[in-house]
Amino acid sequence: VTSAVRPPLSRTAIVDATIELIGTSGPEAFTMRRLGDLLHVDATAVYRHFRDKSELLHAVGDRLLGGATEGIDLDGDWRSIVVTVCSRVREALLQHPHLAASVRDAPPLADAEFAITEALLQQFLRAGLTPRNAALAYHSVIELTVGSATIDAAVHALDPAERQQRYQAWRDAYAALPGRFTASRRVATHLYRGSANDRFVAALRQLLDGVVPPS
Amino acid sequence: VTSAVRPPLSRTAIVDATIELIGTSGPEAFTMRRLGDLLHVDATAVYRHFRDKSELLHAVGDRLLGGATEGIDLDGDWRSIVVTVCSRVREALLQHPHLAASVRDAPPLADAEFAITEALLQQFLRAGLTPRNAALAYHSVIELTVGSATIDAAVHALDPAERQQRYQAWRDAYAALPGRFTASRRVATHLYRGSANDRFVAALRQLLDGVVPPS
DNA sequence: ACCTGAACACCGTTCAAGT
DNA sequence: ACCTGAACACCGTTCAAGT
């Protein structure tokens, strides 16, 4: 009997498997043992290729952020470009909340992060901001993007029906508040409406309007 | 020999101890076993008062966010009120970064979170927004606040000298990028300038300007 | 060179038993 | 009523041993 020849592990294969694991079963499903199972390898074999779990997550982070600046027409409307890049970053962070930790700990993650920063700063300069204000705008949009991803991450893992159910439960909670919470009761029905991504884009566009008032 | 009479555990005492544990040794030092040690009690005794770890963190979160809406003159300038409340929320999250996780998982945390939501929504309604737009504005400022806290948390834990050193290292990294990163090199010297809190306030004010264009 | 498998030092949590 | 302590089902990681 000839057994199937398994190619040796590689950093690339491990990163692929990690992303698959997170994608299918949610971020909390990622453990080294489960990763080993998926790779049909002992869990500890991964340690030959990555020093530890955080180094692996780092590599995953760079992979996921890698697509954020791909194939973008850098001469289009600057607002739209910023929205697209940030939406992609948010999407990548949503896939993997652990990623937010890597992002916050050491900004210059790797190539992907530099490319994102360059793209955003470029657009802010194109929009006519001074370098100083471009830097501020960059910090602002990144903060909003990371915050949106952080907040939405848990709900994002649910399937659509469960998600809507949870949003409804939250609306109900605000609607049921006692007397002194007049504003909450009045607004309750409008909270968590639409997709989280739409809310993010709306927020980002408003932020950009504050940065460069629309003419 | 009369042994010292230990008062029975209470939710309050457990929350106090948890905050102490996090405050002194960093958030990763918090485990149920260590909490038990600090309380001079078996780790599992806590389970009589809290269903599980996440419920305990929930209560801790509410305690820390409790001060965010205290003593605020709700008839002042609405922008300033929003900035103050959000700054306090950010400050609370910064002190205890792992709290951001509890915040994101289940918005209706408890009393403190309802009070914050009410205060913010109230101000947005005062500013003339429709309930629908007030809800959007609320989501926006919370996302920015959580994002700012998430990003700044790691650096915030450093002492000022180390912090400036790290910011300088990041500026240097961007300044040293190769040819095609023109925008990054041009803006590098302006990145991470001023205090993180000032950057946050600047971002928040710009967001508010986008929400309600200044007259 | 690359992987295995036992082992270590932890986790959160349950539950019968104690007082 | 409240807490203990053993136990369970996990973790990430190390390291000698295998091939």
pLDDT tens string A140-190: 999 999 999 888 887 887 788 888 988 999 999 999 999 899 999 999 999
**Chain A interface mutation, best of B89, B174, B206, B212, highest count of A Cβ atoms under 10 Å:** B206
Scanning every strand, the nucleotide with its C1' closest to B56's CA turns out to be: C12
Question: What is the three-state SS of chain B?
Answer: CCCCCCCCCCHHHHHHHHHHHHHHHCHHHCCHHHHHHHHCCCHHHHHHCCCCHHHHHHHHHHHHHHHHHCCCCCCCCHHHHHHHHHHHHHHHHHHCCCHHHHHHHCCCCCHHHHHHHHHHHHHHHHCCCCHHHHHHHHHHHHHHHHHHHHHHHHHHCCCHHHHHHHHHHHHHHHHCCCCCCHHHHHHHHHCCCCCHHHHHHHHHHHHHHHHCCCC
A27 confidence band (pLDDT: 50, 70, 90): low
Q: How many whole angstroms separate alpha carbon A156 and alpha carbon A94?
A: 7
A7 confidence band (pLDDT: 50, 70, 90): confident
- Judged by CB atoms closer than 8 Å, whether chains meet at A135 and B193 is answered as yes
Q: pLDDT at position B109, please?
A: 62
Show residues, CB within 7 A, near nucleic chain C: A 8-9, 36, 41-42, 44-45, 48-49; B 30-34, 43-44, 47, 51-54
Q: In chain A, which residue's Cα lies nearest the Cα of B154?
A: A105
More confident residue, A156 or B192: B192
In angstroms, what separates the C-alpha of B5 from chain A's closest C-alpha? 41
- What's the Å distance between residue B30 CA and nucleotide D4 C1'? 21
Contact A145, A83 (CB under 8 A): no
Task: List the single range of A77-81, A93-97, A169-173, A189-193 with lowest mean pLDDT.
Answer: A93-97
Q: Measure CB to CB from residue B206 to each of A132, A174, A211 and give the nearest one.
A: A211
For residue B122, give the amino acid letter: Q
Q: Measure CB to CB from residue B207 to each of A189, A193, A207 and give the nearest one.
A: A207
Contact A68, A85 (CB under 8 A): yes
More confident residue, A98 or B93: B93
Residue B7 CB lies within 7 Å of the nucleic strand D: no
Chain C positions with a protein C-beta closer than 7 Å: 2-6, 10-15
- Which region holds residue A96: left if phi is over 0, alpha if psi is between -120 and 50, else beta? beta
Q: pLDDT at position B2, please?
A: 39
Residue A177 has, within 13 A of its CA and on its CB side, a CA count of 24
Which residue from B26, B28, B110 is spatially nearest to B65, judged by alpha carbons?
Answer: B110
More confident residue, A58 or B180: B180
Please state the rounded mean pLDDT for residues B152-170.
86
B196: pLDDT strictly greater than 50: yes
Q: pLDDT at position A73, please?
A: 85
More confident residue, B74 or B118: B118
Q: pLDDT at position A8, please?
A: 78
Question: Which residues fall within 8 angstroms of residue A80, CB to CB, at 6 or more apart?
Answer: none
